[in-house]
Structure 1
Amino acid sequence: MIRVLIADDEWMVRAMLRTIMETEPDITVVGEATDGEAALREARSRNPDVILMDIRMPRTDGLTATERLARLPEAPRVVVLTTFDLDEYVRAALCHGAAGFLLKDASAQEMITAVRSAARGDAVLSPRVTRRLLSRVTREDAVRAEAERRLAVLTAKEREVLVAVGGGLTNADIAAALHMSEATVKTHVGRILAKLSLANRVQAAILAHQAGLLCP
């Protein structure tokens, strides 16, 4: 059972998300929070697997809460929710360890899929937003040069896996595409994250885009 915490200051949004989540037999909503401070408190007491986190909330915003949650010993996966597909806070949230992001106008099925993906450790990337967000991330030549410098420590096979991760593929998809076992893929992903000092697959995807390894 996937345990979900919903953090949003609008009760209608919380009610909508709860209704969507509780239609699924493998998902249960263990709590709600109206701001980032409450989300931190609820996360500590209820141990959710995934938190659906709004960014713009009173007292402690979702960005600050996400950064603080990432420091917990068994940190939950945070999926950031935003109304704006070019919200600067989304990019910052990813850099602070969020598992990914969704627009609030995403379909119910997209939200359910995102929760399941986050729970199993996969990146949650809204395709409509990702291309625009990452194109901004890669705009400056200096950013690309620095990304390429960081990737120099990877082997050729690790770079192949990184490209696949950047494309949003799961471990199973990567295994099929590169003709290797899922266990081997998992090992490669772990080594990539360790070598590059990255927190998760989303940060790896951003770095791959920054280095120009993926088509815009």
Structure 2
Amino acid sequence: MTIRVAVIDDQTLVRQGIISLLSLAPDIEVVAQAANGADIVALIAQHQVDLVLMDIQMPQVDGIAALQLLASAGVVVPVIILTTFDDHERVLQAMQAGARGYLLKDVALEVLVDAIHQVKNGGSLLQPAITDKILQSFLRQSPSPSPAQAPADALSAKELEILRLMAAGFSNREIAQSVFKSEGTVKNQVSAILLKLGVRDRTKAVLKAIDLGLLGS
């Protein structure tokens, strides 16, 4: 089944470059494009968009404001944020506003296509290099949590190790290879972590862990 994508970026060369890349993917079709997020709700409805690739920094209505427009309208469409290394604080805001992942603008075609499939199928996307910057920035700003803020069921040392690998953007398979466990075992541990943190997906688990100070040194 073809995945229908909208690309929203104010930089024409970047937008056209991404569209050109995606034209090489047989099961992905760019059905809409825009220079800012002002008309994102109408764009998605008109073109039956399955997924949005969107810049953070844009004139008029930026990526975060566009995510808020989607939330206000009750429109549930996965959004991948396009970013640079200098945008790490804004990326965190975008994730909190509902983005399902983020990619660097100079991403390779294979990575971009894999990301679109992963997010379209319900996953989240966290690139390790940017994730580290986000974590460090947030940890510098956040006070240490009080005991009352800790999750009801404390995570075990092994679960904290898994959580840190999740924050670094590793898939279940990659985590399994890192900790010398089966992929099924890791999947069960990830499910247990989500349950203990009271969240539904990996992205929210990482954000919750940051908020609780679980990823600090």
Fold shared per TM-score above 0.5: yes
Equivalents in 2 of 1:72, 1:181: separation in Å?
Answer: 39
Cα 1:117–1:148 change in 2 (3 A) is farther
Deviations 1:38-70 (A, max 9, x none): 222211222322211112222221111112224
What is the CA deviation profile of residues 85-138 of structure 1, one whole-angstrom value per residue up to 9, with x for unaligned ones?
A: 344322211111111212212223322222222112222122221111111111
Gaps of 5+ in 1: none
Q: Does 1:114 align with 2:115?
A: yes
| Offset of residue 81 of structure 1 | 1.0
For 2:32, the equivalent position in structure 1 comes to 31
Partner of 1:123: 124
- Find the aligned partners of 2:161 and 2:73 in 1 and give their Cα distance: 31
Q: In the aligned structure 2, how far is the partner of 1:133 from the partner of 1:75?
A: 25
Q: Is the counterpart of residue 152 in structure 1 residue 152 in structure 2?
A: yes
Whole-Å separation in 2 of the counterparts to 1:33 and 1:147: 46
Q: Distance in 2 between matches of 1:57 and 1:103?
A: 16
What one-letter code is carried by the residue in structure 1 that aligns with 2:112?
M
Question: SS state of the match for residue 52, structure 2?
Answer: strand
Match of 1:94 in 2: 95
- Aligned residue pairs: how many? 212
Q: 1:41 to 1:113 in 2, by over 3 A?
A: same
Correspondence list, 1:1-150, <5 A: 1-71=2-72, 73=74, 75-140=76-141, 142=143, 144-145=144-145, 149-150=149-150
Tell me the TM-score normalised to structure 2 length.
0.77
More displaced 10-residue stretch of structure 1: 65-74 or 153-162 = 153-162
Gaps of 5+ in 2: none
Tell me, yes or no, if the aligned pair for 1:52 and 1:80 is still in contact at 8 Å: yes
Question: Residues of 2 paired with 1:147 and 1:30: CA distance?
Answer: 49
Aligned counterparts of 2:98 and 2:196: Cα–Cα separation in 1: 16
Q: Which amino acid in the other structure matches residue 195 of structure 2?
A: R
One-letter code aligned to 2:50? D
